[in-house]
Amino acid sequence: MRENALAALHHEDSPKQVPMYDIRIDDYIIQTIMKTSFVDVPTEVACLRKLGFAMITAHPLNIGKTEFYDSKTGRGGYIDEWGREYVFINGMKFYAKGHLQEDDLDAKEWDPTVEARYKNVKEVVKKAEDLAVIGRVGGTFERALLAVGPEKFFKYIYDRPDFLSQLLERINNYWIEIGKMEIDLGVDAILLTDDLAYRSGPYLSPHHMAKFIWPTFKKRVNTLQKVPIILHTDGNINSLLDSIVDVGINGIHSLEPTAGMDIGEVKRQYGDKLVLLGNIDCGWLLTHGTEQEVIEVVKRTIAQAASGGGYFLSTSNGVHRGVKIANLLAMCRAGRKYGKYPIKI
């Protein structure tokens, strides 16, 4: 399985099978499939192998979070080292607001050398068996947006651009060091997660993307280009694809179909430049569709995107707990059946 993933990551046209992958599978899904109440790295690896996946994500860990409990609402949560506040509702985590202030910037360390950050990465690399490993690094835009809060972020673009540039640089330098360490630990690729768009299009104008975001991406790619770098972003990113190629990104995940991302068209225009991952709708199809509908979409997607290699069958975001397990299994069966090279659909 790893060989197929590596062939796709390096855009080789000789894999035996379309590899399958997802950024993360919810613990509830893993528990149900594996019939266990406990999820650790070996359990996750076993689940992915059972599904036929070819690659697993290794996650660096946040440290130093402050937990809280609100007796009035009955909700608990935490504020992490970046100032992002999250609350738990019905067992699921939701972003609440950002607490990072301008005066905090000099006081924050965000030390990428802390050994505890790499506990999961080390264990995944060690226990991945025949799965390729992709190491996650966070984004500059999304991390800054959530740290200060969306309202302040967009205000700072105009009122405090120097501070915003400093914040983005600090965040980017932190993630560069995380990525370098992950590569040294043995990951096969880097996954840069930064949601740049909504369903209607990018959050920032082309001018502000060029001023604030693309330089951080370019610096990141130049430093970490020993391995393929895959960008995860939701939303309609059609207008961003040229820039994504220009800064040196090697592949793109999630190609959200409900946001107007036509994987066939992306393949035609960028298939020789970008590895494509995703496009199987996890918002409606995998949660409410029938197994046959899932199979038909998988067949169509493979037919559109798999020829010539450079494609991973994957959902449009991740396998969240709302996904029907029967539909996930149908997706995987169809991927194994119709994803054999040469593609004959």
pLDDT tens sequence across 2-26: 999 999 999 987 779 999 999 999 9
**134 lies in a domain?**
yes
State the average pLDDT over residues 85-112: 92
DSSP conformation letters of 125-177: HHH-TTSEEEEEEE-SHHHHHHHH-HHHHHHHHHH-HHHHHHHHHHHHHHHHH
State the average pLDDT over residues 198-206: 97
**205 lies in a domain?**
yes
pLDDT tens sequence across 115-139: 999 999 999 999 999 999 999 999 9
**92 lies in a domain?**
no
Is the torsion defined by CA of 30, 34, 39, 45 positive or negative? negative
**78 lies in a domain?**
no
**229 lies in a domain?**
yes
Q: Which domain holds residue 31?
A: 2-63+100-338
Say if strands 132-138 and 189-193 run parallel, antiparallel, or are unpaired: parallel
- Tally of domains in the chain: 1
**87 lies in a domain?**
no
**215 lies in a domain?**
yes
Q: What is the pLDDT of residue 126?
A: 99
- pTM here is 0.96
- The CATH number of whichever domain residue 160 belongs to comes to 3.20.20.210
**In the predicted structure, residue 254 carries a pLDDT above the cut 90:** yes
Tokens 């991390």 appear where?
A: 143
Q: What is the pLDDT of residue 30?
A: 99
Q: What is the pLDDT of residue 161?
A: 98
**244 lies in a domain?**
yes
